Structure 1
Amino acid sequence: MICSKLIIPVKRIAFVGLIISMFGCSKPKHQSFCNPVNLRYRFQLDHPSRREAADPSVVFYKGAYYMFLSKSGGYYTSENLIDWKLITTEDLPIEEYAPTAVVMRDSIFFMAINQKVYKTALPESGQWEVAQDSVGMRSLDPMLFHDTNGRVYLYHGLSPRLPIRGIELDAQTFKPIGDEVEILNTDNKLHGWERTGDYNFGLKKRPYLEGAFVTSHNDKYYMQYSVPGTQFKSYADGMYVSENPLGPYQLAQHNPFSYKPEGFIAGAGHGSTFQDEYGNYWYAGTMTISVKNSLERRVGIFPAFFDEDGVFYAYTGFGDYPHQMPAKKMKDYKDYQPKWMLLSYNKPVEVSSEVDGHAKELAVNEDVRTYWSAASGNREEWLLVDLEETYDVGALQVNFAEQGTSLVGRAEDIYYQYKVEYSNDKKIWEVLVDKSENTIDAPHDYIELGKTVKARYVRITNLKVPDGKFAISGLRVFGKGTGAVPPAVENFSVVRDSVDGCHVKLNWEKAEEAIGYNVRYGISPDKLYHNYQVYNVDSLDVYSLNSELDYYFTIDAFNENGIFEGDKVIKIQKIKK
């Protein structure tokens, strides 16, 4: 969340104490955020012109969070996981992919694929020194793990054929100790989440195996690994578990660990898991756009939990809706539900202009890979959404697209200026958000209003784009309706493929007034930790199962007023061969 100037209508004056600063404002009174994380995603240094950030490695150090990303021209820091400040540095290889960071001996240690290890005790300064000129071995997608007993391990791997490997390092010199061991490899015939493609259809090609990350908890070691490829919506982290850092590792029953194949923005792969100041676990992962380039990516943050049986899972339910950032320890995913519902999905749209292939409807279709574009980047290009009835609007997310840009790199004049107005009759308009003086680059600008306003029509007007045309992949309006939530889903069935046990087919009868459905499933009726969110359909094919396990399914229905949790659970047995 990066703020500039927020104006509450005169008729509803509510001073919220916003002060423009390096983030655009001080800490807001109400703390929520919405994926993708609103970072200053840099334009890459080559063409086509597009933004990218991925492979986050996050650490908590001396009261602040530090996020290191692939090819981002620096790293970020935050005190609250919401407001992120960019730190530039000339000391780190910031143009390398897949950095790793770890806190040891009162310092942060950093490594990328160039084999050097760097350290600092003052990460805010951007100043680092070389701790070891070379670890003595080439490692793709490295991960440094500091165990509670002080020992250090290096895990690495990036290949469609080769396994993830691990080796112990000397904690002082970072030189290898002992022999390297093979940790795990893929088996996409049995493990559906390892199959390629947006929806895990692909069996002919082996997935890319990458992004190892280890978390220790209650004397066990939980290893995340990323598959099947960063360009796919199905980008996920699988998981193995061991009683020793170098194994042997066994496949976890709950798999994948993180998975978000649909929604406004999909993907939850190649990331890191960390704890906040309250002891909550979080997973920061890579989300995909991958239209202009396969590496066109963003960052998402999701809560993660250990249940009472030691099952470790990242919770991605409604993972691109606004959520309240917790200020205490959460027990489980029930403590982390959407703060508001989506009001703008597929609602009628009017625009000042549009270009072929980028029609107005694409601004509200909940797909970051498509977008509306005006015919120019001129002032006063606009887009209007009719919510079709009056709602209490609590937040907005403005997702800009890069149409016709030629920008590369980062510059101080790369930012958007715009204003958002609202009306109940399309005649009298009041200012909702004023970004006319904004100078912070915020391509996924999330604005929590602080106080809800009643609105039917929402209009955004361009004042400045950094280059190209005024284009929006999602003008997302959030709030709550006063009507009823949808009824329970009826005539719900699940059939497992008799040949391919990784595949199930779900069918249901559309619930009256529902705009979408969240399919929840898992390895037991009380562990429905997987989420598969879809809009305006009555069937779904899921190809991401473990063919050797039984599964349980239920379906929630939702609309602008809230969520009806499914109360019918169906068991699907594994296919006996």
Structure 2
Amino acid sequence: MRATLLLLLLSCLTPAMAQQSPARPNAARPNAARPPARTYCNPMDISYRYNFEQLNEKVSYRSGADPVIINHKGEYYLFVTIQGGWWHSKDLFNWNYIVPDKWPMEDMCAPAALSVRDTLYLFQSTFEQRPIFYSTEPEKGKLKFYNRWLPRLPKDIGPWDPALFHDDDTDKWYMYWGSSNVYPLFGAELDKSRNLTYAGNNPAEAYKAMLWLDPYKHGWERFGPNHSDPFKPFTEGAWMTKYNGKYYLQYGAPGTEYNVYGNGTYVGNSPLGPFEYAPYNPIAYKPGGFATGCGHGNTFQDVYGNYWNTGTTWIGVNWGMERRIVMNPAGFDKDDQLNANTRFGDYPHFLPTRKVQSRDELFTGWMLLNYRKPVTASSTLATAPTDTVTADRVADENPRTFWVAGQNHPGETLTTDLGAEHDIRAVQVDYFDYKLDIYNSDSTVYTQFKILTSADGKTFEVVADLTKEPKKDHACAYVEIPARADGKPVRARYVRYEHVYTAGKHLAINAFRVFGNGLGKAPAPTMMTAKRQKDERNADLSWTKVPGATGYNVRWGIAPDKLYQTYQFWNDHANHFELRALNVGVPYYFAIETFNENGVSTISTVVKAQ
């Protein structure tokens, strides 16, 4: 995977979100009743574009990475690497793809975007001379040149993975950039009087180093899966947020193709520093579960003032840069500590209709109902190794395993048996690009299917039908199941995916995820131990398994009331783990909660790592 990162270089949070009380029982259930708010689920459900980059290698795949969401005049714009355009939304749920009237340069990799007053600014990653663009009508795809050529920087310096920042208090402009395991992140002031070119007469002297990775002190900055590879890590994805008079310079590390890809921050009193490393890093981190990794994104506020942090999650089967994007609630606590909430980060969450008051308020409490539950398929591709493309792969919570149908025809089905009746709230269907020859998302690229439920496995009724909506590609389709006429949720034991259409030769699905609530009790709580190793970057964790549990959330942080980090583990996995994500010289506190289809236990007693 080291080579893929090099290929990427060549190719292209005002509310204080308080920690939920550890003593609160059955924490997943209070929101179980359906409110009027819409819900969403990571990975985000947008029309990820087929990536033309690997046309010559005959590798076909959808992808999306390095997201930037901008709140521009009360509406939202999403910019993603190499997508031929951008997305527009009024509610953070319905995203409409927009093709610019004239794409002025080559397609943009890891673009920078910024809204200032009535204007949206856009700039691409580059090692060459490239312009900054602007638009006063981004919803119509209108782009104009703001400047013609931002002066070129010395060889290999960039600006790659740029971020634009406007300080509203001083009316000054800045740019930050960097994507390398050799160079630091850089920053420079831009001169508005000269059309946002570098301030000063010599561009080579206009910028300076902002921060370097230090994996010898910061365990989470180490490379590899679970920070296990000694290879020198990468830093990238700069972003700046100003809050309460402080400047939060954010960055992604240690590598996009790992479960530990996260975001960190340095904090300073001025836009160009000096900056100090935040001891509570990383600010966004999701190493466990289905959609692992959440690095290289941005922090933005919605129309209600709530903060969000975006990032990239990895698939990497067809190609190393095969990825999806995620969006997590974020914010600043009473001590101005920036943090993103990834607890149950790939389960359904509410989209707020007001300012959020508590850290876990947006979690619906809808649990995953079919983890490793039986799944049957109408057919399986006979020409593939049948032990690798079987139906059970869609329920193993691994985006790199998948089912391939015998043929891509309407009527193919996947049926999951939940083992008992449950209240069904939502379904997510994640498609996989198996040996396709699609290199451009045209009008033939869309997805349609139906969701059916049954109490006995014999008589099924349709509860969702995507053929009744406009044709749209849903690589990570998320569908809420409407309540019945009496307002109660659909109750069923069996849930079925019935295929209608997807482009390409094969129908392949890597996840068929059913969410809702069982009719029983949440599991019992458990206890854990945490022992710091001689190497303070590591800690040995262990816990007692609970009968009837689906899994566990290990939660930790730098204080008993700041357990902002979460690592999700499954009950059928080992009950011990070496955590390698800690900062040297920082105390840590740990707790654990148990969950199953019915809800979440009370959280355990908080223990200090000894």
TM-score, structure 1 as length reference: 0.92
1:352 to 356, 378, 382: 378
1:502 to 537, 540, 546: 537
Partner of 1:446: 478
1:142 to 143, 162, 165: 162
Partner of 2:207: 180
Partner of 1:534: 569
Tell me if structure 1 keeps the 8 A contact 2:37–2:353: no
- Report whether the alignment pairs 1:156 with 2:206: no
Partner of 1:274: 300
Partner of 1:521: 556
Q: Equivalent residue of 1:361, what SS?
A: helix
Q: Distance between the aligned counterparts of 1:225 and 1:314, measured in 2? A: 14
Q: Equivalent residue of 1:553, what SS?
A: strand
The letter for the 1-side match of 2:422 is Y
| Structure 1 residue 260 displacement after superposition | 0.7
| Structure 1 residue 463 displacement after superposition | 2.1
- Report whether the alignment pairs 1:38 with 2:45: yes
Higher relative contact order (CA 8 A, sep 6+): 2
Partner of 1:5: none
Structure 1's 450 and 352: CA in aligned 2 closer, same or farther, altered over 3 A?
closer
- Report whether the alignment pairs 1:99 with 2:111: yes
Structure 1's 167 and 351: CA in aligned 2 closer, same or farther, altered over 3 A?
same
The letter for the 1-side match of 2:321 is L
- Report whether the alignment pairs 1:197 with 2:224: yes
Give the total of aligned pairs: 543
- Report whether the alignment pairs 1:253 with 2:290: no
Q: Distance between the aligned counterparts of 1:478 and 1:113, measured in 2? A: 38
- Report whether the alignment pairs 1:430 with 2:450: no
Structure 1's 92 and 215: CA in aligned 2 closer, same or farther, altered over 3 A?
farther
| Structure 1 residue 29 displacement after superposition | 5.4
Q: Distance between the aligned counterparts of 1:155 and 1:282, measured in 2? A: 20
Q: State the superposition RMSD in angstroms.
A: 1.5
The letter for the 2-side match of 1:248 is P
1:125 to 140, 165, 169: 140
Q: Distance between the aligned counterparts of 1:94 and 1:455, measured in 2? A: 50
Structure 1's 460 and 429: CA in aligned 2 closer, same or farther, altered over 3 A?
same
The letter for the 2-side match of 1:221 is Y
| Structure 1 residue 133 displacement after superposition | 1.1
Q: Distance between the aligned counterparts of 1:82 and 1:412, measured in 2? A: 22
Q: Distance between the aligned counterparts of 2:395 and 2:364, measured in 1? A: 19
1:397 to 423, 428, 436: 428
Tell me if structure 2 keeps the 8 A contact 1:382–1:462: yes
- Residue-by-residue CA offset, 1:441-478 (whole Å, 9 max, x unaligned): 11111111231201001111222221122221111111
Runs of 4+ residues over 6 Å off in structure 1: none
Partner of 1:473: 510
| Structure 1 residue 550 displacement after superposition | 1.1
Tell me if structure 1 keeps the 8 A contact 2:187–2:208: yes
The letter for the 2-side match of 1:100 is A
| Structure 1 residue 270 displacement after superposition | 0.5
Tell me if structure 2 keeps the 8 A contact 1:402–1:471: yes
Structure 1's 91 and 463: CA in aligned 2 closer, same or farther, altered over 3 A?
closer
1:216-255 paired onto structure 2 within 5 Å:
216-255=242-281
Tell me if structure 2 keeps the 8 A contact 1:480–1:560: yes
Tell me if structure 2 keeps the 8 A contact 1:307–1:332: no
Structure 1's 184 and 251: CA in aligned 2 closer, same or farther, altered over 3 A?
same
The letter for the 2-side match of 1:63 is G
| Structure 1 residue 319 displacement after superposition | 0.5
TM-score, structure 2 as length reference: 0.87
- Report whether the alignment pairs 1:171 with 2:192: yes
Q: Distance between the aligned counterparts of 2:185 and 2:243, measured in 1? A: 21
Q: Distance between the aligned counterparts of 2:412 and 2:334, measured in 1? A: 54
1:310-389 paired onto structure 2 within 5 Å:
310-355=336-381, 356=385, 357-389=388-420
Q: Distance between the aligned counterparts of 1:434 and 1:279, measured in 2? A: 34
Q: Distance between the aligned counterparts of 1:332 and 1:425, measured in 2? A: 40
| Structure 1 residue 92 displacement after superposition | 4.5
Tell me if structure 2 keeps the 8 A contact 1:71–1:94: no
Q: Distance between the aligned counterparts of 1:240 and 1:374, measured in 2? A: 48
Q: Which runs of 5+ in 2 are unaligned?
A: 1-34, 153-157, 201-205, 484-488
| Structure 1 residue 94 displacement after superposition | 6.2
| Structure 1 residue 30 displacement after superposition | 4.2
The letter for the 1-side match of 2:287 is P
Q: Distance between the aligned counterparts of 1:339 and 1:445, measured in 2? A: 20
Q: Equivalent residue of 1:271, what SS?
A: coil
Q: Equivalent residue of 1:108, what SS?
A: strand
Task: Say which structure is richer in strand.
Answer: 1
For structure 1, which segment, 246-255 or 323-332, has the greater mean C-alpha deviation from structure 2 after superposition? 323-332
Q: Distance between the aligned counterparts of 2:461 and 2:338, measured in 1? A: 47
- Residue-by-residue CA offset, 1:248-276 (whole Å, 9 max, x unaligned): 10000111011111211111111011111
Tell me if structure 1 keeps the 8 A contact 2:37–2:352: no
| Structure 1 residue 436 displacement after superposition | 3.6
Q: Which runs of 5+ in 1 are unaligned?
A: 1-27
